[in-house]
Amino acid sequence: MQLLTERDTMFLYLETANSPMHIGNVAIFEGGLNFDAFREILASRLHMVRTFRQRLVHVPFDLDYPYWIDDPDFDIDRHLHYISLPEPGGWEQPEVAQVPPPEPRYIDPLPGDVELLFRTWYNYVQRSLKIPKLVFKTAWSTIKAGQLAKVEGMGLPPLPFSAPPTLLNVPISSQRAWDNMLFSLDRVKNIRKKMPGSTINDVVLAVCGGGLRRYLEEKGGLPEKPLVSMVPISTRTETEKGSIGNQISLMLVQLATDEADPIKRLEKIYQNTIRSKTYHQATSAKILMDYTEFIPFSIGNLATHLYTRFSIAKRHDPVFNVVITNVPCSQTPFYMGGKQLHHVLKLCLMWSCSFVIWGNRLTNLNKLYKPNLT
């Protein structure tokens, strides 16, 4: 058994039938892959990723976070669905890598209510011991942020609930429309040279800001204030690599959607990200995430459902307008059943969201797409 982390619990708080808090992938492989062969490949490798065979159990009365447990009734056919799409054609491939067989393992029986309640009591005791250290870290971070403001003379980054209302930030249904566009990484690097010191992430934010500006202008809903993006930042340490659960903190960045010129927009975003990163490092935004550990699950769950049920989001400015994240892929080629993976396209099901994935074969299909990077 493993207790759900406070960050994963936060996503669970926010999940509703119309707004699931998970992300999907569209993976494009060379050549055709028979569904039965696909199923067989996944089934032969499930023992290598324990999470795929686990499910949640809830503590009675939701007194504590749920637990991950091995599912004694796991059935892969409940998780795989076949949908026929036009085949994109294929190429000849290399051989399939050999995978070691799974080792025999013991699956614990489902925990009873008494065991879960005892674990809940123990967890509350352990969390209470963390409070003095967390308060000290908060005070020290506040002092550092104040010193930074005096020494650097740097303005504050956008605060939560300071984003302008837009037609993107309204109650949503369960229906989704999804599209994607492929960019050449070399072109993005060339754009970065227009603003010395800027990063690929700055260019990504500028491109997405330009797309949002154009879209909202066409819909007659471009606000005078610049849109604000929530940018997830990984806080996973070397020792936490390979562990399950989200290890992230959040940073807010203005997207300069009030600027029509793309180069000036990139320059503004470059300055905005420096400001946000500086305060993020000084105040250690991870501390804010740590406080969620002390929110009782039942209260957080109830508060989230009431917030959604009564459409409270209509009564205040958005916390932020969109989520934009830039995820670099491995430069090592990947294969499934001897078919090479060419592209991984992220499918976001939660808020207004943009995902940019850089892969080792990203430039191959550039001739098929002529996107306007402004």
Residue that wins the pLDDT comparison between 55 and 281: 55
Q: What is the pLDDT of residue 260?
A: 93
List b or e across 72-82, with b for residues whose CB sees 16 or more CB atoms inside 10 angstroms: eeeeeeeeeee
Q: Which residues contact 11 (CB under 8 A, 6 or more apart)?
A: 21, 22, 246
Percent of the chain with pLDDT over 90: 13
Both tokens of residue 145? 């942020």
Q: Which of 1, 17, 7, 61 is nearest to 245 (CA)?
A: 7
For the whole prediction, is pTM greater than 0.85?
Answer: no
Q: Helix 297-309 vs helix 6-14: angle between axes, to the nearest 10 degrees? A: 30
* 347 compared with 323, residue with greater pLDDT: 323
What is the β-pairing status of strands 23-29 and 322-328? Answer: unpaired
The band of 281, judged by pLDDT with boundaries at 50, 70 and 90, is low
* Burial of 86 (C-beta count, 10 Å sphere; 0-12/13-18/19+): exposed
Runs of H (alpha helix) within 4-112: 6-14, 35-45
d(CA 304, CA 306): 5
Mean pLDDT of 309-328: 79
**What distance in Å separates the CA atoms of residue 354 and residue 215, rounded to the nearest whole number?**
14
| pLDDT score, position 140 | 63
Give buried/exposed letters for 26-41 (b at 16+ CB in 10 A, else e): eebbbeebeeeebeeb
pLDDT band at 99 (very low <50, low <70, confident <90, very high): low
Q: Which residue has the higher pLDDT, 269 or 232?
A: 269
| Residue 63, CA distances (Å) to 22, 42, 117 in order | 24, 36, 8
Question: Residue 132 — pLDDT band, cuts 50, 70, 90?
Answer: confident
Residue 36 has pLDDT above 80, yes or no: yes
Taking only the tens place, the pLDDT of each residue in 190-212 is 888 888 888 988 999 999 999 99
Sign of CA pseudo-dihedral 302, 304, 306, 309: negative
* Dist. CA 195–CA 209, nearest whole Å: 16
pLDDT of residue 224: 93
CA atoms of 303 and 103, how far apart (whole Å): 43
Confidence (pLDDT) at 38: 87
